[in-house]
Amino acid sequence: MSFLNLEKVSKFYGSVAAVHDFDLAVEKGEFISLLGPSGCGKTTTLQMITGLVRPSSGTITMGGRDITHLPPPQRELGVVFQSYALFPHMTVAQNVSFGLEMRKVAKPERDKRIKEILSLVHLSALADRYPREMSGGQRQRVAIARALVINPPVLLLDEPLSNLDAQLREEMQFELRRIQQTVGITTIMVTHDQAEALSISDRVVVMEKGRITQVDTPYELYEHPRNDFISSFVGKSNFMCATSSFNGKGASISIDNTPIRFNTDRREPDGKVSIFIRPEKLRLTEPGEGQIQGKVTTRYFMGSQWLVSAETSAGVLAVAVPNLGAPPPMEGETVGLAWQSADCRVLAGAAK
Q: Residues 254, 243: contact at Cβ < 8 Å?
A: yes
Looking at the structure, do residues 249 and 197 belong to the same domain, yes or no? no
Tell me which of 215, 232, 249 is where a domain ends. Answer: 232
d(CA 131, CA 93): 11
Looking at the structure, do residues 285 and 342 belong to the same domain, yes or no? yes
Average pLDDT of the residues in 197-214? 96
Q: Using DSSP, state whether 161 is helix, strand or coil.
A: coil
Looking at the structure, do residues 181 and 46 belong to the same domain, yes or no? yes
Looking at the structure, do residues 214 and 243 belong to the same domain, yes or no? no
Residue pLDDT, tens place only, 15-71: 999 999 999 999 999 999 999 999 999 999 999 999 999 999 999 999 999 999 999
- pLDDT category, 352, cuts 50, 70, 90? very low
Query: pLDDT at position 241, please?
Result: 80
Q: How many domains does the chain have?
A: 2
Q: Which of 262, 280, 283 is nearest to 344 (CA)?
A: 262
Query: pLDDT at position 136, please?
Result: 87
Looking at the structure, do residues 272 and 291 belong to the same domain, yes or no? yes
Q: Which of 100, 49, 109 is nearest to 79 (CA)?
A: 49
pTM over 0.85? The answer is yes
DSSP annotation of 342 reads G
Q: Which of 96, 100, 64, 60 is nearest to 80 (CA)?
A: 96
Average pLDDT of the residues in 110-121? 94
pLDDT above 50 for 265:
no
Tell me which of 181, 197, 232 is where a domain ends. Answer: 232
Average pLDDT of the residues in 199-215? 96
Quote the percentage of the chain above a pLDDT of 90: 70
pLDDT above 90 for 336:
yes
- pLDDT category, 260, cuts 50, 70, 90? low
> 1 or 122, which is more confident?
122
- pLDDT category, 246, cuts 50, 70, 90? low
Quickly list DSSP for 22-51. Answer: EEEEE-TT-EEEEE-STTSSHHHHHHHHHT
Please provide residue 84's backbone torsions phi and psi, each rounded to the nearest 5 degrees.
75, -35
pLDDT above 90 for 177:
yes
Looking at the structure, do residues 213 and 261 belong to the same domain, yes or no? no
Query: pLDDT at position 340, please?
Result: 87
Residue pLDDT, tens place only, 134-152: 988 899 899 999 999 999 9
Looking at the structure, do residues 201 and 125 belong to the same domain, yes or no? yes
- Alpha-carbon Rg for the chain, nearest whole angstrom, is 25
Query: pLDDT at position 343, please?
Result: 86
Average pLDDT of the residues in 277-283? 94
Indicate the helix (H) or strand (E) that contains 143. helix 136-148
Looking at the structure, do residues 224 and 240 belong to the same domain, yes or no? no
> 255 or 269, which is more confident?
255
Looking at the structure, do residues 30 and 170 belong to the same domain, yes or no? yes
302 Cα distance to chain centroid: 22
CATH of the domain at 115: 3.40.50.300
Looking at the structure, do residues 208 and 310 belong to the same domain, yes or no? no
Domain range holding 9?
4-232
Tell me which of 202, 232, 262 is where a domain ends. Answer: 232
Looking at the structure, do residues 216 and 314 belong to the same domain, yes or no? no
258 Cα distance to chain centroid: 38
Mean pLDDT, all residues of the chain: 90
Sign of CA dihedral 64, 66, 68, 74: negative
Query: pLDDT at position 82, please?
Result: 81
- pLDDT category, 251, cuts 50, 70, 90? low
CATH of the domain at 340: 2.40.50.140
Query: pLDDT at position 266, please?
Result: 47
pLDDT above 90 for 350:
no
Average pLDDT of the residues in 323-339? 94
Looking at the structure, do residues 68 and 143 belong to the same domain, yes or no? yes
d(CA 238, CA 245): 21
Q: Residues 307, 279: contact at Cβ < 8 Å?
A: yes
Tally of CB atoms within 10 A around 319: 24
Least confident of 58-67, 77-86, 307-316: 77-86
Q: Residues 249, 241: contact at Cβ < 8 Å?
A: no
How do 334-338 and 283-285 pair as beta strands?
antiparallel
